Amino acid sequence: MGLLSSLMGTWGAAAADTAAPASFCEAQFPQMFANFVDHVVDTAYTGSCIADPDPEPKELPPLRLPAAKRLVAIGDLHGDLSKALRAFRLAGLIDHKGQWSGGDAVCVQVGDILDRGDQEIKLLFLLERLQRQAQAAGGALHVLNGNHETMNVGGNFRYATAGADLEMAAWKRWHQFGQRLKSKCSSCSDTAAAAAASIDAASVPDTPAPGSSSGRSSKQYNPMREAALRPGGPITRRFFAPHPTVLQVGSTLFVHGGVLPSHVEYGLERINRETRDWLMGKPAGGSSSSSSSGKRLPPPEFLRGADAVVWARDYSARDEDRCDCDKLQQVLESLPGAQRMVVGHTIQDRGINGACGGRVLRVDVGLSAGCGNGEVQVLEITQDGHHIVRLRENKEPQPKE
């Protein structure tokens, strides 16, 4: 209730000053009211108290961050909240109540939160909360964008489950409620009513689509998912736009698919920046939103195709002999301080493993029940790569080459 107390205290102080009410109502109250509504809606939807939501997406982190005393990598999560919690608990990053307990540890989750599982939005809220708690404790949680995030923002929903559609419908009801509350405030955001209308216009059935099978939703156009996940959409802006696509922590480079020489030449900072712009709904070289023209904004070229930074499998083939180690070495040598790359995207049947003499570490274990239901494993890197181990539930840590 801290935000409510702040709201009432500031309102009371303004009312006590006969010269203040007009300026307070015009300049301060609208944003305070909007933040309060967001706080109430988030808390009601998640069932737990949420820190005051940021009105705008956070800035991207720098491409290169200093080495961490303890660095943890977690692979693809695909809508499986319970397995995700087990992974963070295995890494010693959360306690039995799901609160951050990792102190100054740094964790990088390599993307693919969406698809194949039924609890995508709850998982996004969990990661956002842990990011804030980690920062307050002197640590950090970084979440990358994977190919399933870019697929969905690009309008490809073929891997969304029927259960995820139901979760989206529940989120929609609370989101509508919040937008309608904001629209009642004449001084509040001019876009509140429009946002509510756009979500109202998008409907999704409260039961799985006829003809869906194996827990998958229909491959047909889903207007609710489209409205929430389009470039500039409410979920995209809040949960994906603040996330980098490539990140280097000390001597370790993280990416969902793989960084290729063409990506280095294009510029990794530029890839992060232009991906964020696309997710925010900003066309390249322009400032207008994709929604203004009614046409979906296409993703940048470096996010499309087999050689995309979120799709490349050059270093993640299960058969190590098929990994392009020469290309990997070329990339690492071209990036200051980079000694190894951590990738997800391709399920590793034998668990977390290394290739190319340990210069690439593959952390996608098919953890989600909807995508292999693999054993929970995480990667721990200490002393900036001098000590690397695979952590497994109820097993002794295993050193990696």
Start-to-end Cα distance in the chain = 50
**E strand residue ranges, 222-297:** 246-249, 252-255
For 309-329, give one letter per residue: b (16+ CB within 10 A) or e: bbbbbbbbeeeeeebbbebbe
How far apart, in whole angstroms, are the C-alpha atoms of residue 49 and residue 313?
40
Q: In the block, which residue shows the tokens 């870019």?
A: 150
Considering only the C-alpha atoms of the chain, give the largest distance between any 2 of them, rounded to a whole number of Å: 77
Options 39, 78, 148, 256, the catalytic residue: 148
CA distances from 375 to 6, 87, 248, 358 (A): 46, 10, 27, 22
Q: Where are the alpha helices (DSSP H) in 282-324?
A: 290-293
How far apart, in whole angstroms, are the C-alpha atoms of residue 241 and residue 181?
25
**Under 8 Å between Cβ of 251 and 261:** no
Running DSSP on this structure, what letter comes out for residue 341? E
Verify whether residue 142 is a known catalytic residue.
no
Strands of the sheet containing 360-362, edge to edge, are 64-65, 246-249, 252-255, 340-343, 360-362, 353-355
How far apart, in whole angstroms, are the C-alpha atoms of residue 305 and residue 282?
21
Kindly list the catalytic residues: 148
